[in-house]
Amino acid sequence: MNIDYCLRGTAKGNKVRFFISSTKNLVEEARLNHNLSTLATAALGRTLTATAMMGIDLKGKDTISIAFKGDGVLGSVIAKSNSSGEVKGYVDNPEVDLPLKNNGKIDVSSGIGFGTLYITKDMGLKQPYVGSVPIVSGEIGEDITEYYYSSEQTLSAVGLGVLIDIDYTVKSSGGFILQIMPGAESEIGFELDDKVQKLPPLSTYLIDNKPEDLLEYFFEDDFKLLEKKVIKFKCQCSKSNFEKALITLGKSELEMLAHDEEIEVVCQFCNKKYIFKNDELIELVKLI
SS (H, E, C) 24-79: HHHHHHHHHHHCCCHHHHHHHHHHHHHHHHHHHCCCCCCEEEEEEEECCCCCEEEE
- Gyration radius of the chain's alpha carbons: 21
pLDDT of residue 125: 78
d(CA 241, CA 142): 36
d(CA 90, CA 117): 15
d(CA 147, CA 44): 18
E strands, 222-281, where?
223-230, 232-233, 262-266, 273-277
pLDDT of residue 148: 95
Contact 161, 173 (CB under 8 A): yes
- Judged by average pLDDT, the poorest of 86-95, 150-159, 257-266 is 257-266
Average pLDDT of every residue of the chain: 94
Mean pLDDT value across residues 199-207: 95
Residue 250 — pLDDT band, cuts 50, 70, 90? confident
Q: Which domains, ranges and CATH numbers included, belong to the chain?
A: 5-233 (3.55.30.10), 239-286 (3.90.1280.10)
Nearest to 250 by CA among 284, 224, 216: 284
d(CA 54, CA 64): 7
- Judged by average pLDDT, the poorest of 36-50, 86-100, 270-284 is 270-284
Verdict on whether the full-model pTM lies above 0.85: yes
pLDDT of residue 1: 60
HSE value, Cβ hemisphere, 13 Å, CA-based, for 234:
12
d(CA 10, CA 92): 36
Mean pLDDT value across residues 5-31: 97
pLDDT in tens, 107-141: 999 999 999 999 999 987 778 899 999 999 999 99
pLDDT in tens, 145-197: 999 999 989 999 999 999 999 999 999 999 999 999 998 999 999 999 999 99
Q: b/e map of 203-212 (b: 16 or more CB within 10 Å)? A: bebbeebebe
d(CA 117, CA 143): 8
DSSP structural state of residue 236:
-
Contact 161, 202 (CB under 8 A): yes
User: Quick one: what percent of the chain has pLDDT higher than 70?
Assistant: 100
